[in-house]
Structure 1
Amino acid sequence: MTDRTGKGPGALSDYLEDIFVEDIGLSWVTSKWNVPDELSPEDAERCLPEGGPSAWWLTLPASAVENFDRSRAVRLGQDIRRLVESPLPDGTIRTVWLGATHGTFDPEAYGFGARAWLRELGDAWLTRVRQDDPVFTPPPPQPVRDEQARQAVLGVMRPVADDLDRAASNPGYGLAVHGLVPALRQVVTEACADLGYRLFLRAMKAYFVEVDTSSHDAFVALGQRFGYPEFLVDDNLNHRS
């Protein structure tokens, strides 16, 4: 039996859920950069938890657990480990984090190195998961490291690389982020092609870098290859049709 999506039982609810899935895992967390950024100082003092912006960011892993199905919630823990356990230098991880968040939240300003910050996010995630399942054991990170996937991601990055680097180096607000594209390439080649691609997309959206139809179609096709929710790639992408 199939429903109107052409898939099997339960697919309609999955399809409807996918409409509202703007991102997954760590790239979903970074997508929330504009929430505290849009608050006035008065609203920030009233709305942010005690501890300010860093404490607010640390509420997001619990939100991922509460708002997504189990497999997508688990992805956050895997993404964090993909970076923490990688050979990437802290500086590269910090650059990619800043690029994905439009330079609006620098963990170093709050006393965290890049890996230490990710570990804080990971601890917050695991604490929330274990409230529901006290014996939960995180699955292995399972980074995507096959050469075909790496080259596919690097290939779609190439035509827009200069535009993204210029936008990140000269933002209208937030910290200037230099060397973003080389850092993203390092994530793709040395940590995980899947996570590197999602963080690249997140940076493209953060800086509203325009893409033509050729790049747009390549982005979407690669998202399908990685099995992303249907609208993840297109959501807030600046596609010049």
Structure 2
Amino acid sequence: MAHPHPHPHPHPHRHLGVDIGLSGLIKWICYPRVNSEAAGLDVVRSGADRFDGRFAHQLLRDCLVLLGSPLSSREIEVLWLAGTFRAFDLERLGIDGRVWLRRIADICTDRIRRDDPSFTPAAAATVVDEAVREAVFAEIESVGPALEQATAHHSYHPLDGVVPALRRAAEADADLGFRLLLRALKGYFVPISEARYERYLALGDELGLGEDVVDDRDFNIWSDLTD
């Protein structure tokens, strides 16, 4: 049975022409390489200020979703490490995942209050459309073996637990879980088929995401793969 299309989407500032929120920050923080927590926080401040501060709203929203979820600090770290390909390595720097998200959230709150001094952070509504949530779960499961092979068995940057952490993120919020799945696939350059790529575009549309969020030219698409 067809499910209702979720547009218009309740989340503000989603169409910025780039990846948004936490998944966007994960992409940007890698280039150029950032090697200290202080430098990482500088990137966060710069990101929160992008688009006249509009990016801060989505980044704060994502942080509050994860901070309000049952995900452990380690699961949050794994999701971050997968998307960044350990380029900004919370583990090596000794930064707790939940502490890191709280620092990001504080920076975003400060930036939003520059324009709206009365702003009070509050958890945003998450994506609860069950058909969309199940579609995100299905994509995590179907690409899971390839993602597990690419991450846990990587020669230089091995990382365990990516697929279970993505499942947990999608349980907390399908939208964020989907974007973190894409970042993990891009971070570890996991080969995907053209059919899978087309499904991602369609699922992104169902979630109200701009095509720029799904396809930022970082995918590893193989025309001869089938799934």
Q: 2:25 aligns with which of 26, 29, 37?
A: 29
Normalised by the length of structure 1, the TM-score is 0.78
Shift of 1:127: 1.7
Using the alignment, how far apart are the partners of 2:198 and 2:86 within structure 1? Answer: 28
Q: Does the Cα contact within 8 Å between 1:102 and 1:168 map onto a contact in 2?
A: no
Using the alignment, how far apart are the partners of 1:210 and 1:33 within structure 2? Answer: 23
Query: Could you say which residue in structure 2 is the equivalent of 1:154?
Result: 137
CA spacing shift, 1:116–1:158, aligned 2, 3 Å: same
Using the alignment, how far apart are the partners of 1:87 and 1:157 within structure 2? Answer: 19
Shift of 1:106: 3.0
Shift of 1:125: 1.6
Aligned: 1:127 with 2:123: no
Considering only CA atoms, is the larger Rg found in Structure 1 or Structure 2? 1
Query: Could you say which residue in structure 2 is the equivalent of 1:40?
Result: none
Shift of 1:168: 1.1
Deviates further, 134-143 or 212-221: 134-143
5+ unaligned residues in a row in structure 1: which ranges? 1-13, 38-47
Amino acid in the other structure paired with 2:187: A
CA spacing shift, 1:58–1:70, aligned 2, 3 Å: closer
Q: Does the Cα contact within 8 Å between 2:53 and 2:112 map onto a contact in 1?
A: no
Q: 2:46 aligns with which of 54, 63, 84?
A: 63
Aligned: 1:212 with 2:223: no
**CA RMSD in angstroms, aligned pairs only:** 2.2
Using the alignment, how far apart are the partners of 1:215 and 1:230 within structure 2? Answer: 15
Deviates further, 133-142 or 25-34: 133-142
5+ unaligned residues in a row in structure 2: which ranges? 1-13
Using the alignment, how far apart are the partners of 1:33 and 1:71 within structure 2? Answer: 18
Q: 1:105 aligns with which of 88, 104, 107?
A: 88
Shift of 1:123: 1.0
Give the count of matched residue pairs: 209
* Residues 2-54 of structure 1, C-alpha deviations (whole Å, 9 max, x = no match): xxxxxxxxxxxx99x62xx1x100011111243143xxxxxxxxxx6xxx521
Q: Does the Cα contact within 8 Å between 1:159 and 1:215 map onto a contact in 2?
A: no
SS of 1:239's equivalent in the other structure is strand
Aligned: 1:183 with 2:165: yes
Query: Could you say which residue in structure 2 is the equivalent of 1:231?
Result: 212
CA spacing shift, 1:69–1:140, aligned 2, 3 Å: farther
- Taking only the aligned residue pairs, the percentage that are identical comes to 38
Which portions of structure 1, spanning 4 or more consecutive aligned residues, are displaced by more than 6 angstroms? none
Normalised by the length of structure 2, the TM-score is 0.83
